[in-house]
């Protein structure tokens, strides 16, 4: 007589139990669909509603950031979820585990982002290239703008990190391995900043270095959430908290009135602190700290 078998509880997510060979390989069809959903609807909506900012201004507003980056973030998340369903994969495979979206790694990344931007400005202050002139916001205005810029830069981080370091990083890593994919996507990330008003060669090099740094964070932490937190906090610190230019653009409603002066290659000039030679040194310093904090690579070199 065969022994009776007692059925166990159903797994919460059967996709997690599927071996890699049962999950669909990424096909050109899936990649094309992802690109169409990610880029085409936002392009039509943004142009159709005339949401593009004036290229002749050096100020970017909360309205534009909410609309443009919010729409972009929505569709790249939607596109990634759709191809994940088609490929029978959990979002974890792409380095985007939903359960950890606002977990410990995200908040740690935010602390690092604010700290590293502050360290950059400390270097500029010590060299006589940066000063804080006055406080621009207090009380309720401070709280309102602080929260609104937090949400705006979360949209920025979601939109940019999900495009350049989410599904595409996974797909390219399958074919050409992680670091070749990281370099290619970081070049694309830098190129996307070329139209920004006031950008310089050093500013674009900093964006390229930041893209590689974000990929290094993903490689060591295993997912995007640390880099998303870092990215959002870095932008929030320079645009809202310290009131400096961000890739050549000043944000409305900043906490501190500050100024950069002196040699452009040290101060950053029209780009802001990101255009300073010190910014590249801070990226290297941060990468060293990441290496010490997360000594083991968790994101696969060639995902299955």
In a domain, 87, yes or no: no
Strand partners, 250: 59
Q: Name the domain count of the chain.
A: 1
3-class state of residue 1 by DSSP: coil
In a domain, 40, yes or no: no
In a domain, 113, yes or no: yes
* Mean pLDDT of the 30-54 span: 89
CA distances from 165 to 60, 186, 228, 240 (A): 25, 9, 10, 25
Which structural domain, as residue segments, surrounds residue 187? 99-293
Give the list of residues 6+ apart from residue 77 with CB closer than 8 angstroms, or none.
Answer: 158, 162
In a domain, 70, yes or no: no
Mean pLDDT, the chain, whole residue set: 89
pTM, to two decimals = 0.89
DSSP-derived letter for residue 250 is E
Q: What is the pLDDT of residues 63-103, one digit of tens each?
A: 888 899 999 999 999 999 999 999 999 999 999 999 999 99
In a domain, 301, yes or no: no
Query: In this prediction, what percent of the chain has a pLDDT beyond 70?
Result: 89
């Amino acid at each position: 007589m065969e022994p009776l078998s007692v059925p166990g509880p159903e797994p919460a997510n059967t996709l997690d139990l599927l071996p890699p060979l049962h999950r669909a390989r990424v096909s050109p069809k899936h990649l094309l669909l992802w690109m169409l959903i990610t880029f085409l609807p936002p392009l039509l909506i943004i142009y159709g509603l005339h949401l593009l900012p004036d290229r002749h201004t050096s100020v970017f507003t909360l309205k534009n950031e909410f609309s443009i980056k919010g729409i972009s973030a929505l569709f790249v998340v939607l596109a990634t979820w759709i191809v994940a369903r088609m490929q029978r994969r959990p979002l974890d495979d792409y380095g985007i585990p939903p359960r950890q979206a606002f977990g410990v790694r995200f908040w740690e990344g935010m602390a690092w982002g604010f700290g590293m931007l502050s360290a950059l400005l400390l270097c500029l202050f010590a060299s006589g290239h940066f000063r804080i002139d006055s406080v621009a916001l207090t009380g309720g205005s401070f709280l309102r703008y602080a929260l609104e810029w937090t949400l705006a830069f979360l949209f920025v981080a979601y939109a940019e990190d999900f495009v350049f370091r989410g599904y595409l990083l996974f797909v390219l890593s399958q074919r050409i391995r992680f670091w070749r994919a990281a370099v290619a996507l970081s070049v694309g990330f830098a190129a996307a900043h070329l139209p920004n008003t006031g950008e310089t060669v050093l500013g674009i090099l900093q964006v390229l270095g930041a893209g590689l740094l974000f990929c290094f964070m993903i490689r060591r932490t295993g997912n995007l959430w640390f880099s998303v937190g870092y990215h959002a906090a870095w932008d929030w610190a320079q645009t809202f908290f310290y009131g400096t230019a961000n890739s050549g653009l000043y944000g409305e409603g900043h906490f501190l009135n500050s100024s950069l002066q002196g040699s452009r290659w040290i101060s950053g000039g029209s780009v802001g602190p990101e255009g300073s030679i010190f910014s590249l040194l801070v990226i290297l310093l941060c990468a060293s700290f990441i290496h010490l904090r997360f000594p083991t690579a968790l994101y696969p070199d060639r995902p299955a």
